[in-house]
Amino acid sequence: MRIKHKNKSIFLDRDGTLIKAIKKSKFKYRPPYNKKELKIFEDIKFLKLFSKKYFLIICTNQPDLKRGLQTKVFNNFINNQIKKKIPIKDIFSCECLKTEKNCNCYKPKTDMILKAKKKYKISLSESYVIGDSWRDISLGQKTGCKTILVERDQNKVIMKKKIFKPDFIIKNFRNLKKIIK
Ligand SMILES: [Mg+2]
Ligand SMILES: [Zn+2]
Q: How close is the Cα of 179 to the center of ligand 2, in Å?
A: 31
Q: 31 and 21 in contact (C-beta within 8 Å)?
A: yes
Res 159: pLDDT: 55
For β-strands 128-131 and 9-12, DSSP reports them as parallel
Q: 90 and 55 in contact (C-beta within 8 Å)?
A: yes
- Whose atoms come closest to the Cα of 115: which ligand? 2
| Residue 76, Cβ density class (10 Å: 0-12 exposed, 13-18 middle, ≥19 buried) | exposed
- Whose atoms come closest to the Cα of 149: which ligand? 1
Q: How close is the Cα of 1 to the center of ligand 1, in Å?
A: 38
Q: How close is the Cα of 92 to the center of ligand 2, in Å?
A: 10
Q: How close is the Cα of 156 to the center of ligand 1, in Å?
A: 13
What is the pTM (predicted TM-score) of this model?
Answer: 0.94
- Whose atoms come closest to the Cα of 22: which ligand? 1
Res 2: pLDDT: 61
Q: Walk along the chain (181 residues) in steps of 10 and give the mean pLDDT of each run.
A: 81 97 90 98 97 97 96 98 98 95 96 98 97 95 97 73 83 95 85
Domains and CATH numbers, the chain: 9-178 (3.40.50.1000)
